[in-house]
Structure 1
Amino acid sequence: MHTDTYTTLCSMLEQKFHVDPARLSPGICLEEIGLDSLSLMEFVFNAEDTFHLRIPEDLLDPRQGGITLQHVCDVIEALQAAPATGTGA
């Protein structure tokens, strides 16, 4: 996990979702800090905008339980490291 990704996500959770920074750690489940499925979707959309990428739903499905901050970081970093794909159309 890159510190920049983690720090950015923590800042987002603090500022936009009013999460106490003392509660944040890589292994914390997002449900434990008060994100229900709707706010988790909003969090994912904010992360996509912040990192300028699209996260496939199967990687971060808001209906899944137990999504951790570490998992979100790992997904974002994997997408950033992946080569760009597309048809160029």
Structure 2
Amino acid sequence: MTEIRERIIQIIAEQAMLDPSELKPEMSPEEIGIDSLGLVESIFAIEEAFDISVPFNANEPEKSDFDISSLGAIIGAVEKLVAEKA
């Protein structure tokens, strides 16, 4: 699962134009510096990278089953989706 975590951090760091080492699991997308469009682009990149479908509604993110409250939550949710697909 470490490669999943590293790939997600890399995707989100690229989106925020930060070094991956600057990101911490407890950081929210806002703290990382990602706006809603950047978050949607990150989700698309994550879906493509892992060949999964993220249950995320960009228009109503608070109604989503996909937890985007922090980097750690996003990683956990993606790991779960990848495990379910396997």
**TM superposition score category, shorter chain reference:** 0.7 to 0.9
Aligned counterpart, 1:77? 79
Give 5+ residue unaligned stretches, structure 2: 57-63
CA distance in 2, matches of 1:83, 1:54: 10
CA distance in 2, matches of 1:39, 1:16: 6
CA distance in 1, matches of 2:76, 2:12: 17
Between structures 1 and 2, the one with greater helix share: 2
Contact 1:59 1:75 in 2 (8 A): no
If asked which structure has higher relative contact order (CA below 8 Å, sep 6+), I would say: 1
Larger radius of gyration: 1
Aligned residues: CA RMSD: 2.1
CA distance in 2, matches of 1:4, 1:48: 15
Identity %: 30
Kindly state the Cα deviation for residue 72 of structure 1 after the two structures are TM-superposed: 0.8
CA distance in 1, matches of 2:32, 2:83: 28
Give 5+ residue unaligned stretches, structure 1: 85-89
CA distance in 1, matches of 2:16, 2:49: 15
Matched, 1:40 2:46: no
Aligned counterpart, 1:67? 69
Classify the secondary structure of the residue corresponding to 1:26: coil
What is the TM-score normalised by the length of structure 1? 0.74
Contact 2:24 2:71 in 1 (8 A): yes
What is the TM-score normalised by the length of structure 2? 0.76
Q: How does 1:1-80 map to 2 (within 5 A)?
A: 2-57=1-56, 58-60=64-66, 67-80=69-82
Equivalent AA in structure 2 for residue 78 of structure 1: K
